[in-house]
Amino acid sequence: MPTLRERTEGFTLDSWRKPENQRFILRDRVRLSKFKEALEKTVTSQSVVIDIGAGWGVLSIFAAKAGAKKVFAIEAHEVNIEKAKKEIAKERLGQKIELIRGDSFEIPREALPQANVIVSETLGFMGIGEGIVGIMHDAKLKWLSKNSMLIPRRLSLYIASVSVPHPPKKRMMMLVSQRYLHSKPRIIEQYELGNDKDVSNLDVPPNHVGWFVAELHENIVLDTSPFSPSTSWEQIYFP
């Protein structure tokens, strides 16, 4: 099993203890609206949902409000569990949402029932930086019943050559205007979440920009490209 450190890049697992990081992503309206829409399209009154990396509970609350029978919210850090508990109580959803503190890799299969929906917003740097590929693979093996759904279900990583006016010397997150792109974007990696287990090392040529597109549901994509409204992920500049 990889260590927590090896699974993450950019925002490390540890950095999610900080309230300012949780607040930062909770301000990303594009992110929230896409996940909400996907949950509303997927969840039924019969659904058992597992939310992996629940943070302050926002996606679990969306799932419960979409009508789920039961939601299990797994979160690594106690400080976030405490905050999620308050948010869930405010919505009076304490009966529907059960909070579980722990690293999803360490929670045994028997601890939770089989789920109809597994949702996880552990999308990091270039989509893969927080370990979503391994997290979904492990979760599917343990908890996904037949004919059930993963949100997101597919992750595509794109790059395009770029020339920005003041190029940074190191790899970094930045918003890159589409007018600086020199080539048509191309996919460098694609992951079927739940089925794929490992990520490969990103092999990106110099002076490129990269981003990801996560397919959350048929026709619902979270697109972090320079062609779409900006998100908290921005794009990644590769010098």
Ligand X SMILES: C[S@@+](CC[C@H](N)C(=O)[O-])C[C@H]1O[C@@H](n2cnc3c(N)ncnc32)[C@H](O)[C@@H]1O
Which residues here bind ligand X, judged by CB under 6 A?
Answer: 13, 16, 25-26, 52-55, 58-59, 74-77, 80, 103-105, 121-122, 130, 135
Q: Is the dihedral of CA 230, 158, 222, 15 positive or negative?
A: negative
Q: Give least dist CB 17 to ligand X, A.
A: 7
The nearer residue to ligand X, 90 or 182, going by C-beta atoms, is 90
Q: Give least dist CB 187 to ligand X, A.
A: 23
Alpha carbons 12 and 18: distance in angstroms, whole number:
11
The nearer residue to ligand X, 28 or 192, going by C-beta atoms, is 28
Q: Give least dist CB 76 to ligand X, A.
A: 4
- CB count within 10 Å of CB 236 equals 25
The nearer residue to ligand X, 137 or 208, going by C-beta atoms, is 137
The nearer residue to ligand X, 141 or 187, going by C-beta atoms, is 141
Q: Give least dist CB 220 to ligand X, A.
A: 15
The nearer residue to ligand X, 79 or 188, going by C-beta atoms, is 79
Q: Give least dist CB 170 to ligand X, A.
A: 23
